[in-house]
Amino acid sequence: MMSDSVLKIDGLCHAYKNHEILKNIDLDLRAGERTAVLGESGSGKSTLLRCIAGLEMIKRGKILLNGRIVSDHVMTVPTEDRNLGMVLQERALFPHLTVIDNIMFGIDKVSSKHRIVADLTKLFKITSILDKFPSEISGGEQQRVAFARSLAPEPELLMLDEPFSALNQELKEELYAELLSIFDERNVAVLLVTHDLTEANRLTSSQAKLDGGELTKT
């Protein structure tokens, strides 16, 4: 049978110079599945996402998206050809573009552009701020826009790099609840990296720990 993994990582090793950050990482994520990688600051969580996004050349092993090898030790498919979404901790939006233009930025399917944007802005309750610039909206609104933008190209894999750490508890709780229903509705696979176990438990059904460069299921 062909693999139905959205993301498969096989023996991934990565190092900056001679400093090994990721050692023999294996990971398998299927459609609609949500998993978290927990780890202390500096443990390599962002590096792992950068490898999956094609922003790092990996040293050993391979990364597959939908059964296709996108990274190995000789080849790296560019980020824009990977059909994945990513939300970062902060400074994710283009400051010179309005909210609506930020969201439209990554959509190249012109025909369905307006429907996609209308759906997402309604889901994330940001219809009233579409013409504002990022500097004119709150931190919570900025993260809502960042989520809407990441889902706009309809990726099968969404990677979240501690996207809630700049938000207060109340905003987090509100966003968690909204996101869970949106993720289920879209059947998108989610890979969350965080140092926050509570957050991981709220948003994902399985967790692994990254420690000393090794990833272990918990």
Q: In this chain, which of 39, 61, 134, 155 binds ligand ADP, going by CB under 6 A?
A: 39
Q: In this chain, which of 47, 71, 98, 143 binds ligand ADP, going by CB under 6 A?
A: 47
∠ CA 30-157-214, rounded to 5°: 70
**Residues 175, 131: Cα–Cα separation, whole Å:** 22
Residues near 26 by beta carbon (within 8 Å), at least 6 away in sequence:
9, 10, 11, 12, 215
> Would you say 16 or 94 has its CB closer to ligand ADP?
16
Any contact of residue 194 with ligand ADP (CB under 6 A)? no
**Residues 209, 218: Cα–Cα separation, whole Å:** 7
Element (H, E) at 49: helix 45-53
Three-state DSSP state, 169 = helix
> Would you say 41 or 216 has its CB closer to ligand ADP?
41
- Name which of ligand ADP, Mg ion, none residue 35 binds, using a CB cut-off of 5 to 8 Å depending on partner kind: none
> Would you say 29 or 192 has its CB closer to Mg ion?
192
Q: Distances from the Cα of 128 to the Cαs of 3, 66, 77, 137, in angstroms?
A: 42, 37, 38, 11
> Would you say 45 or 144 has its CB closer to Mg ion?
45
- Name which of Mg ion, ligand ADP, none residue 134 binds, using a CB cut-off of 5 to 8 Å depending on partner kind: none
Q: x-or-dash pattern for Mg ion, window 42-81, by CB under 5 A? A: ---xx-----------------------------------
Stretch that binds Mg ion, among 25-33, 38-46, 65-73, 149-157 (CB under 5 A): 38-46
β-pairing verdict for 5-16 and 60-65: antiparallel
> Would you say 46 or 143 has its CB closer to Mg ion?
46
